[in-house]
Amino acid sequence: MLQLKNIQKSFGDCIANNDVSITVQKGTIHAVVGENGAGKSTAMKIVYGFYTADSGEIYLDGQRVNIRNPHDAIALGIGMVHQHFMLVDTMTVAENIILGAETGSSASLDLEKANEDIEKLSDELKLEIDPRAVIEDLSVGQQQRVELLKALYRNADLLILDEPTAVLSPQEVEEFFGILRRMKDQGKTIVIITHKLDEVLAISDEVTVMRDGRTVGNVRTSDTSAKELARMIVGRDVLLRVEKTDADPAADVLKVSGLNVKGKFGPAVKDVSFSVRAGEIVGIAGIEGNGQTELVEALAGLTRPTSGSISLNGTDVTRASARELKELGVAHIPEDRHRRGLLLNSDLAENAILGVHYRPPMVSGAGVINTAAVEKRVGEIIDNFDVRPPDPTLTAKSLSGGNQQKLIIGREFELNPKLLLVSQPTRGVDIGAIEFIHRKLIELRDSGAAVLLVSAELEEVTALADRLLVIREGEIVGEVDPKVTSVEEIGLMMTRG
């Protein structure tokens, strides 16, 4: 179905693709894996016409094609669902799907016919999407399905999915894989870019591995294992489990009592009480959308609780601002790195000093930026957390999602926090970086910090947490010891009404 031959692509001095060759068989699900910055998304964006290769050839159904832009790709039956959705929140599903593919003039636009066509397409794949629904009222998993419908509405036979499960719950992933299998049965060809090796093994037929901009291997999925793929991706053996000693907790750092927080559609956090002690990781497990976001944002000073109290080392901080909490030793790694974590149009150096940009040594007594101090800080974060490309002058939006995440994590860890609030720490991050981030979280715990961890990855939160709280519909419905409680038991607590 698709062949890339000797694709070369550079951005300035940075070589993103170096002689990349990939072959994808018709009617299969083909996984492309590799570290952040390995060139996976770049290669597939070249296929979609988002970028143009400096050299090399692309063949579709055996014919050489010249793809200059996404319009060319769409005309050839290629669709792409990007890691960060490209939807207009205030428009309906149907309006988003036909946007850019409308027939006739605005006066003759038959939106009702589009609604019917989209409904039929949704029913065929059991997507269960109402074309009249407004995007901002849909869950993340439903928005993912809208992106699929958008590509299928344009008659795509080859679908490229960039980190499609990064924001889905375990249940949504299973449903999504069912959709992909039905699409494959209908003759579609699917390329999936992902970091999640268990998903690669579960869904794909073949795997291409990339490293440092090159293709380093292609294997049948049935002939490989997670361990072998990890070794090919990173170039060394990778620890696929979390190694840690038992926690040695001290006094309470964070204490939450009877906390209530309002969400977009009503009460989101309901009478929540818990504590996190110095030297321990407390995990919060739950399906996304059950109050985790509102809870963490209230603890980080980004939203105000409607009632209840929050104390930090015995001091009431219920009404404290985000800056005041930062001054008291609270670091925050947000779940939404674009909305809450980065200034996308600013460079890496500016992003590296967020939160400390107003105080020495980042500024002098006269309020002038200390360039040498800024360069030192961003250099240490880039080196210590392997941010690629290692260029402080690049804008944050030019990095891959995983490297954006490493930049945020490095910035917050550099604060040496007393309390770390961390949501989805390894979302969109490669296998080698996951191992590194897990180790850093354990080191932070062992140094005496208190860590509150929220993760949609149930295996991650059970492996890292010393104590595990389960949240459902905004309430803490139980506390378990992750060492003796099975993932299945926790899953039942998350879903049982």
| 288-332: pLDDT as tens digits | 789 999 999 999 999 999 999 999 999 999 999 999 999 999 999
**3-class DSSP state of 297:** helix
pLDDT band at 103 (very low <50, low <70, confident <90, very high): low
3-state secondary structure of 13: coil
Would strands 206-211 and 214-220 be described as parallel, antiparallel, or unpaired?
A: antiparallel
**DSSP secondary structure of 98-124:** HTT---S-STT--HHHHHHHHHHHHHH
Give the model's pLDDT for residue 207: 98
Backbone dihedral angles phi then psi of residue 335, each to the nearest 5 degrees: -75, -30
Residue 383 has φ and ψ, to the nearest 5°, of -70, -50
Tokens for 152? Answer: 């299928």
How, if at all, do strands 189-193 and 29-34 pair?
parallel
Q: Which residues contact 212 (CB under 8 A, 6 or more apart)?
A: 18, 38, 39
Is it the case that residue 169 has pLDDT exceeding 80? no
Pick from 96-100, 248-252, 378-382, 429-433: least confident: 429-433
107 pLDDT higher than 60: no
Which residue in 167, 156, 39 sits closest to 101, CA to CA? Answer: 156
φ, ψ at 104 (rounded to 5°)? 75, -165
Question: Distance between CA atoms of 395 and 400, rounded to whole angstroms?
Answer: 11
- Look up residue 274 and give its two tokens: 């818990």
Cite the DSSP H helix spans in 347-421: 348-352, 371-384, 401-413
**Residue 315 has which token pair?**
């001091």
Does residue 346 or residue 12 have the better pLDDT? 346
List the Cα angle 200/206/212 in 5-degree steps. Answer: 75
CA distance 227 to 238: 7
pLDDT at residue 106 greater than cutoff 60: no
For residue 126, which amino acid is it?
K
Contact status, residue 76 vs residue 60, Cβ threshold 8 Å? yes
Three-class DSSP category at 438: helix
Contact 40, 33 (CB under 8 A): yes
Closest CA to 76 of 18, 15, 159: 159
Whether cis (ω within 30° of 0) applies to the bond prior to 425 is no
- CB–CB of 442/436 below 8 Å? no
Q: What is the mean pLDDT of residues 12-22?
A: 91
Residue 105 has pLDDT above 60, yes or no: no
Tens-place pLDDT, residues 475-484: 999 999 999 9
- Taking the C-alpha atoms of residue 118 and residue 262, their distance in angstroms, rounded to an integer, is 35
Closest Cα partner for 355 from 381, 320, 330? 330
If you write DSSP's letter for every residue of 7-49 in order, what string do you get? EEEEETTEEEEEEEEEEE-TT-EEEEEE-TTSSHHHHHHHHTT
Confirm whether pTM is higher than 0.85: no
Q: What is the mean pLDDT of residues 262-275?
A: 94
Q: What burial letters (b/e) apply to 44-78, b meaning 16+ CB within 10 Å?
A: bbbbbbbbebeebebebeeeebebeebeebbebbb
Residue 315 near residue 282 (C-beta atoms within 8 A): no
Q: What pLDDT score does 322 carry? A: 96
- Per-residue pLDDT reduced to its tens digit, 442-464: 999 999 999 999 998 888 899 99
Domains and CATH numbers, the chain: 2-234 (3.40.50.300), 252-495 (3.40.50.300)
pLDDT at 485 over 80: yes
